[in-house]
Amino acid sequence: MAGLVTDEKDLMEKKIRVLIAKPGLDGHDRGAKVVALALRDAGFEVIYTGLHQTVEEIVEAAAQEDVDVIGLSILSGAHLPIARKLNEQLSEVNFHPVVMVGGSIPSRDIQPLRDLGIDAVFPTGSQFTEIADFIRSSDKVPPEGQAA
Amino acid sequence: MSERLEKVTLESGVSVQPVYGPEDVEHIDAARDIGPPGEYPFTRGIHPEMYRTRPFTMRQYAGFGTPEETNKRFKFLIDNGQNALNVAFDLPTQMGLDSSDPMAEGEVGRVGMAVDTLADMELAFEDIPIDQISVSLTVNALALPIMAMYFVVAEKHGVSLESVRGTAQNDILKEYIGRGAWVFPVEPAVRLIGDTIEFCARQAPKYYPVSVCGYHIRESGANPVQEIAYAYAIASEYVRTGLERGLEIDDFAGRISFNFDIHGNLFEQVAKFRAARRLWARIMRDEFGAQDPRTMKMKMIAGGGGGGLTIEQPENNIVRGAYYALISALSGAQTMALCSFDEAYTIPTEKAALISLRTMQILVEEMGLRDTVDPLAGSYYVEWLTSELEQRILKEMRRVDDEWGGILNAVKDGLAQREVAHQAWQYEKGIQEGIIPKVGVNRYRMEEADHEVDLHPYRAELAEQSIQRTAQVISSRDAESVSSALDQLRQAALGGENLMPAALEAVRAYTSLGEMTAVMKEVFGEFKEPVRL
């Protein structure tokens, strides 16, 4: 009985894990930090990588932390090459969390990003609730409270 | 919008009454606290007649692609009336990477021009009369070698070190807090700034080596009081490094200038700047013992900040820019710049840059801002608010020392970073919940077509050009000189000597920025970001 209670408690506390990452050289992290804080406030477990990450470092951190979601924050305009690279490297290690991209993304690049395998795009102006709802509703993410 | 405003609280936390009157300014000693413009404590302005003598300088940030492309944009701006340049460098350059570096991929020439060697700097300033036009270099972690490049270019234009004018941003502490273009750890980075301050004080006395930026700190989420408080804490650190080098305060501190942010409440901004001038004068005289009034004058570029602009209904940003320009002029800024209306999308197109320029020109020519100094002085509200903000700024500066152990500690431990990030989050919540009004975002929203804004295109072939040119320069330079110059640089870094002489030698030999940075990283290491959510 004690074991069951412990298991239930663990299950109830299992949060969806999100890695917020800043790829490339750009140092503007206000958006990344604001989204990270908002998602934490919304009940997710959030890890923020800090600045100047290579795609390799992001994939490694994501796999190590076994996150359910990767969120890239990109303001430099280099979102398409970065997204392409990220998905290639995730495939190489056979790790397929939800991937979302936020930042300075022109509308015309949203579909190309989706075509590259990005699950959702949240350009400037996106609401916290939109992002949180998307994560919760995604098929690829285990429902909160239950282990995958 | 049509209900009475029950409670008004400014970003800085000040509560605003519906009416201010003589009783609200009774406590202010006008002679001591306000005084005439051009006289201590300079509340009304740092010169006796301010814009009546000469209007503010207009200095739009510009640069992209190759030096040739940037050179063209410089000439376009100058032809259209801009009287000073502010050079944008790409991220690889800002981070000390050559265009061919793997980490530079996709970033070469994107947000500014790519500079690898002296050859690039020479091209950027070809046919630009730098003896007449003031040039500001927006570079920080690698300011020392980039300044060295500029000094050598100036020499080639016939301008000696003794006469070269201009400024470098060169404010690394704000990078750790709010801009992110840091490379080295805090101590060596501040030491480099000390090197530039010392070198300029002794050998390039007309050059302004540091522009302390409250701007980016505010853009990262700090409120207007914190913007000034943290900037002054940072500036004080730089002043201390100058004094540690044996310089007299009046020999160098007057050439530390400031870069501040404008958006939000008009009166709060104007009062902020008046308070800031008064406070800096007091700090220089009373804390650091300055005697020359020029040292006590807080010189600033006050720019229309991107933080106030929106991605929605971008043409609204043209209007915001005009209001911010007005605030800047009412605040007595020496130099003005505006984020362009397409700020949320990309670096400015020619059209957007031109609109920003015209906004400032219309202000100067048509709106009476040149006629008389500090026209809002004497306003019950503005004088009351000026004094109120000065107190709050002082309080926040004390907090930095008492609670955080000083700004250096705060930055190393991520405390300042966390503070501004949390503020940014609260602010964004306020916007998303509709509590903080933002036209086009949470008021007067429209279904918009895919924002039809004419974007500045990124051209990958320009990146290729940069890489090719650098390869050319490397193959035709004297390898011996470069190798020896890098050794000198390493020795100077290891031996605690001023790096500028070695950097000048290295630059003349066409050593690349990447090569110099690699040596500096070897000696200084790299900053480990204290990630604290």
If you write DSSP's letter for every residue of B399-423 in order, what string do you get? Answer: HHHHHHSSHHHHHHTTHHHHHHHHH
- Looking at residue B460, what is its pLDDT? 84
How many Cα atoms sit within 13 Å of B83 on the Cβ side?
Answer: 11
Degrees, nearest 5: CA angle B464-B469-B475: 130
How many Cα atoms sit within 13 Å of B14 on the Cβ side?
Answer: 26
Nearest residue to B318 via CA among B301, B336, B343, B335 = B343
By Cβ distance, the residue of A51, A123, A125 closest to B180 is A51
Query: Model confidence at B447, in pLDDT bands (50, 70, 90)?
Result: confident
The verdict on a CB contact (< 8 Å) between A25 and B92 is yes
The verdict on a CB contact (< 8 Å) between B107 and A54 is no
More confident residue, B79 or A76: B79
Helix then strand then coil, % of chain A, to nearest 5: 45, 20, 35
Element (H, E) at B88: strand B84-88
Degrees, nearest 5: CA angle A22-A23-A27: 60
- Best A47, A52, A82 member to test B by mutation, with max B CBs in 10 Å, is A52
Please list every residue in chain A whose beta carbon sits closer than 8 Å to the beta carbon of residue B428. Answer: 34, 38, 128
Ranges of beta strands (E only) in B345-473 are none
- β-partners of residue B58 are B336
What's the sign of the alpha-carbon dihedral B176, B180, B186, B191? negative
Element (H, E) at B374: none
Asked if the model's pLDDT at residue A10 lies above 90, the reply is: no
Q: How far apart are CA B276 and CA B269, in angstroms?
A: 10
Q: How far apart are CA B90 and CA B97, in angstroms?
A: 10
**Is residue A36 within 8 angstroms of chain B, CB to CB?**
yes
Asked if the model's pLDDT at residue A136 lies above 90, the reply is: yes
Three-state DSSP class for residue A72 = strand
Whether omega before A106 lies within 30 degrees of 0, making that bond cis, reads no
- Looking at residue B110, what is its pLDDT? 86
Query: Model confidence at A4, in pLDDT bands (50, 70, 90)?
Result: very low
- Looking at residue A2, what is its pLDDT? 39
Query: Model confidence at A107, in pLDDT bands (50, 70, 90)?
Result: confident
Encoding tokens for residue B81?
């009336």
Please list every residue in chain A whose beta carbon sits closer than 8 Å to the beta carbon of residue B175. Answer: 27
What would the pLDDT profile of B459-492 be if each residue is shown by its tens digit? Answer: 889 899 999 999 999 999 999 999 999 999 999 9
- Looking at residue A144, what is its pLDDT? 81
The verdict on a CB contact (< 8 Å) between B179 and A28 is yes
Asked if the model's pLDDT at residue B452 lies above 60, the reply is: no
Q: What is the mean pLDDT of residues B235-242?
A: 98
More confident residue, A113 or B349: A113
Cross-sheet strand order for the sheet of B166-168? B61-62, B84-88, B134-138, B166-168, B207-208
Q: How far apart are CA B23 and CA B528, in angstroms?
A: 52
Asked if the model's pLDDT at residue A64 lies above 90, the reply is: yes
Encoding tokens for residue A30?
């206000």
The verdict on a CB contact (< 8 Å) between B175 and A104 is no
**Is residue A123 within 8 angstroms of chain B, CB to CB?**
yes
Please list every residue in chain A whose beta carbon sits closer than 8 Å to the beta carbon of residue B95. Answer: 25, 52
The domains found in chain B, sorted by start residue, are 22-432 (3.20.20.240), 462-524 (no CATH)
Q: What is the mean pLDDT of residues A68-76?
A: 94
Three-state DSSP class for residue B34 = helix
The full set of domain ranges for chain A reads: 16-136
Query: What is the least distance, in Å, from the CA of A54 to any CA of chain B?
Result: 8
Distances (CA, A) of B399 to A4, B226, B272, B406, B407: 50, 10, 18, 9, 10
What would the pLDDT profile of B86-121 be if each residue is shown by its tens digit? Answer: 999 999 999 999 999 999 988 899 889 999 999 999
B319 — phi, psi (to 5°)?
A: -65, -45
User: Which residue is it, tokens 């004390």?
Assistant: B398
Q: How far apart are CA A36 and CA A39, in angstroms?
A: 5
Nearest residue to B183 via CA among B528, B490, B531, B527 = B527
Encoding tokens for residue B466?
């940069």
Ranges of beta strands (E only) in B353-492 are none
Q: With beta carbons less than 8 A apart as the criterion, state whether B33 and B278 touch.
A: yes
- Looking at residue B493, what is its pLDDT? 98
Please list every residue in chain B whose beta carbon sits closer than 8 Å to the beta carbon of residue A34. Answer: 221, 421, 424-425, 428
**Is residue A18 within 8 angstroms of chain B, CB to CB?**
no
Helix then strand then coil, % of chain B, to nearest 5: 50, 10, 40
A20 — phi, psi (to 5°)?
A: -100, 125
- Looking at residue A140, what is its pLDDT? 83
Q: Counting runs of H as helices and runs of E as strands, what totals does chain A give?
A: 6, 5
Distances (CA, A) of B57 to B53, B85, B300, B357: 12, 10, 11, 11
**Is residue B266 within 8 angstroms of chain A, CB to CB?**
no
- β-partners of residue A103 are A74, A123
- Looking at residue A6, what is its pLDDT? 44
SS (H, E, C) B227-243: HHHHHHHHHHHHHHHHH
Q: What is the mean pLDDT of residues B241-267?
A: 98
**Percentage of chain B lying above the pLDDT 90 cut:** 88
Query: Model confidence at B450, in pLDDT bands (50, 70, 90)?
Result: low
**Is residue B431 within 8 angstroms of chain A, CB to CB?**
no
- Looking at residue B350, what is its pLDDT? 86
B339: left (phi over 0), alpha (psi -120 to 50) or beta: beta
Q: How far apart are CA B289 and CA B283, in angstroms?
A: 8
Average pLDDT, chain B: 95
Query: What is the least distance, in Å, from the CA of B18 to any CA of chain A?
Result: 33
- Looking at residue B451, what is its pLDDT? 61
Please list every residue in chain B whose beta carbon sits closer than 8 Å to the beta carbon of residue A107. Answer: 450-451
**Percentage of chain A lying above the pLDDT 70 cut:** 89
Distances (CA, A) of B400 to B170, B272, B411: 22, 19, 11
Q: How far apart are CA A15 and CA A142, in angstroms?
A: 9
**Percentage of chain B lying above the pLDDT 70 cut:** 98
Asked if the model's pLDDT at residue A3 lies above 50, the reply is: no
In terms of CATH, what superfamily is A16-136? Cobalamin-binding domain (3.40.50.280)
ipTM score assigned to the predicted complex: 0.93
